[in-house]
Amino acid sequence: MARSTREKPDLQKKVHEVPHKPGVYLMRDRFNRVIYVGKARDLRKRVGSYFLPSKLTQADLKTRAMLEATWDFNTHTVRSEAESVLLEGKLIKEYRPRYNVSFRDDKRFLLVKIDTSEEWPRFRLTRFKKNDSARYFGPYADAGALRQTLNLMRKKFGVLTFGRGAPNERELKSSTYQVPVRLSEVNAEQYRERVAQACEFLEGHSREMIAALEEEMRKAAEQMDFEKAAELRNMIEDVRATTKPMRRFTRGSLPSAIDPMADVRALADVLQLPHAPRVMECFDISNISTTHVVASMVCFRDGVPDKDNYRRYRVRTVEGQDDFASMAEVVRRRYSRILLEAREVNPDAAEFSQENAADALERCRATASVAGPADDKQSVRPAISESTAPSYVRLPDLIIVDGGKGQLSAACRELQRLGLHDLPIIGLAKEHEEIYRPGRALPLQLPLDSGALRLLQRIRDEAHRFANAYHQLLMKKRIGESILDDCPGVSQNRKNLLLQKFGSVNRLRYASVEEIASTEGIGRKLAEEVHRFLQRH
């Protein structure tokens, strides 16, 4: 494994080039990998504080280890402290640095959502932007300022926040919604005019309101009402923080040293592939417990995640923790599905059993009524996966399995049984980042600063994250279902019948006694007991 022999640079000199501006800083190790991402109101002061002579002796163990591993840093300035928070979160999600904890759980910033198709639209908070008819404002880095601004909007515009539907009795009687007349005295159409004004306010048209608040603050100060003046001052700051135009940091605009396609081409060179692996699929097994052994398959297209083609699996045929057998099952299920669907497109393709299945797939493609993108030469047709919506299926240019010789051999055997002899496949062993290839006794080791290795690490880490997320989802579901074990009269068989009909304990909780009683094997008396039990718990 390649090691750097250069001396550690003196970073205190570089600190003097850092500006006194808000932004983010990235700490890098000797192999130029990002190991920590931080934000700062003043980059010069924050970054400089790390390299003071006393810092190493006074720092905690984690900071000390990070500083000892830091060989370089770079900074990116932004326009405000709030933007530095947004950019910090985006960069941590991209690089997943080893010394960062915040944001690694895919935490998202708050958005304001309003669905104008509703009769009485309400301003609600959300962390996810869906592809629907609603309008979204944000994201907002300061959640506290956002909530205070929504409170102000209720008073100044008389609009509804949170909840759903028409205003309830309490809201109709509330003195909050009386601008310029009470909410109870306006119809839905008049209310929508209030909503339009509030939307303009969130879009940044807030000068008039800020000017009015500043005038109120001045009068309060003149009248010696300093408590009210301070409250108005805080309100003005919250409004400015919320309505100030904020840059949206997308993947294309992120400060990044990653060039996905360059890494793809580098990987093709080191693996001696006939062409660049534009579509790669990586498998990972998660067997944290024997209760649920699950697997993930993530797809990268042109070096970046193609999340529409991710798949997740529950291992069915393997008892206990057997990574090799689990990998074999998942690979078999993934690619036998593609072959079966290709056969459906062309039922007369008997050549599947006599020749390389990849060539048979190509022949089927030529007769398929529905094809994928023009560059997907092996696209077959839309397919229903185990856990996602339809998408075009094609054989990947490269398969990656998380593991060493054992996992690779298990996957290769399944591919050979399916006739996919020539499909490129490798194994990536995590301990020493060794690349195993079929028919090669010795693993391939790339320099740690190699773009090809960094690409494989990103794919492997994403597969690992996706598998663990599915495992945690199933464990939470199991914990939720276990509450029925304490319900009197509910045996394991009856529990299975209830969950089979309602899908989850949460849905069962909202079911009526009559709906529960209609379940096979559940009488009226037991249904009442189950209903009472779930309302109490």
The pLDDT score that the predictor gives to residue 405 is 92
Query: Using CA atoms, how far apart are residues 383 and 193, in angstroms rounded to an integer?
Result: 46
Q: What is the pLDDT of residues 507-536, one digit of tens each?
A: 788 888 888 888 888 888 888 888 888 887
Query: Using CA atoms, how far apart are residues 436 and 434, in angstroms rounded to an integer?
Result: 6
Nearest to 89, CA basis, from 141, 126, 47: 141
In the chain, where the domains are located: 11-95, 110-243, 260-468, 487-536
Query: Using CA atoms, how far apart are residues 63 and 246, in angstroms rounded to an integer?
Result: 31
Q: What is the mean pLDDT of residues 363-374?
A: 41
Intra-chain end-to-end CA distance of the chain, in Å: 57
Give residue 314's identity as a one-letter amino acid code: R
Q: What is the pLDDT of residues 35-53, one digit of tens each?
A: 999 988 899 999 998 888 7
Q: What is the pLDDT of residues 483-515, one digit of tens each?
A: 676 677 778 778 778 877 777 777 788 888 888
Cβ neighbors of 347 (< 8 A, separation 6 or more) are: none
Q: What is the mean pLDDT of residues 356-366?
A: 54
Residue 443 is classified by DSSP as P
Quote the percentage of the chain above a pLDDT of 70.
78
pTM summary value: 0.48
With cut-offs at 50, 70 and 90, classify the pLDDT of residue 360: low
Query: Using CA atoms, how far apart are residues 85 and 71, in angstroms rounded to an integer?
Result: 24
Tell me the fold of 487-536.
Answer: DNA polymerase; domain 1 (1.10.150)
The pLDDT score that the predictor gives to residue 180 is 73
Q: What is the mean pLDDT of residues 184-213?
A: 78
- Between residues 4 and 200, the one the model is more confident about: 200
Residue 354 has pLDDT above 50, yes or no: no
How much is the mean pLDDT over the chain? 78
**CATH code for the part of the protein at 11-95:** 3.40.1440.10
With cut-offs at 50, 70 and 90, classify the pLDDT of residue 245: low
Quote the percentage of the chain above a pLDDT of 90.
19
Query: Using CA atoms, how far apart are residues 8 and 12, in angstroms rounded to an integer?
Result: 12
Cα dihedral sign, 414-416-419-424: positive
Residue 371 has pLDDT above 70, yes or no: no
CATH for 260-468 (3.30.70.1150, 3.30.420.340, 3.40.50.300, 3.40.91.50): 3.30.420.340
The pLDDT score that the predictor gives to residue 374 is 35
Residue 183 is classified by DSSP as G
Q: What is the pLDDT of residues 452-489, one digit of tens each?
A: 998 998 899 889 888 887 767 766 665 555 567 667 77
Residue 335 has pLDDT above 90, yes or no: yes
Q: What is the pLDDT of residues 89-141, one digit of tens each?
A: 778 877 788 887 644 444 567 888 888 888 888 888 887 777 787 888 877 76
Instruction: List helix spans (H) across 113-259.
Output: 143-157, 169-173, 188-202, 207-222, 226-243
The pLDDT score that the predictor gives to residue 238 is 63
Q: How far is CA 6 from CA 9, 14, 28, 141, 367, in A?
A: 9, 17, 15, 40, 59
Residue 216 has pLDDT above 70, yes or no: yes
Question: Do the Cβ atoms of 243 and 208 come closer than 8 Å?
Answer: no
The pLDDT score that the predictor gives to residue 104 is 47
Q: 481 phi and psi, to 5 degrees? A: -70, -25
With cut-offs at 50, 70 and 90, classify the pLDDT of residue 342: confident
Q: Provide the 3-class DSSP secondary structure of residue 72.
A: strand
CA dihedral 242, 244, 250, 256 (to 10 degrees): -110
Q: How would you label 176-195 residue by residue, b for 16+ Cβ within 10 Å and e otherwise?
A: ebeeeeebeebeeeebbebb
Residue 358 has pLDDT above 70, yes or no: no
The pLDDT score that the predictor gives to residue 383 is 37
Q: What is the pLDDT of residues 412-434, one digit of tens each?
A: 999 999 989 889 999 998 777 89
- Between residues 148 and 309, the one the model is more confident about: 309
- Between residues 449 and 23, the one the model is more confident about: 23
Q: How far is CA 65 from CA 69, 95, 269, in A?
A: 6, 19, 35
Q: 307 phi and psi, to 5 degrees? A: -65, -20
- Between residues 493 and 337, the one the model is more confident about: 337
The least confident of 111-125, 229-243, 275-289 is 229-243
Radius of gyration over every alpha carbon of the chain, rounded to an integer in angstroms: 29
HSE (side-chain half, CA atoms, 13 Å) at 473? 12
The pLDDT score that the predictor gives to residue 87 is 81
Q: What is the pLDDT of residues 26-37, one digit of tens each?
A: 999 887 888 999
HSE (side-chain half, CA atoms, 13 Å) at 93? 17
- Between residues 298 and 527, the one the model is more confident about: 298
The pLDDT score that the predictor gives to residue 315 is 85
Question: Do the Cβ atoms of 210 and 204 come closer than 8 Å?
Answer: no
- Between residues 318 and 248, the one the model is more confident about: 318
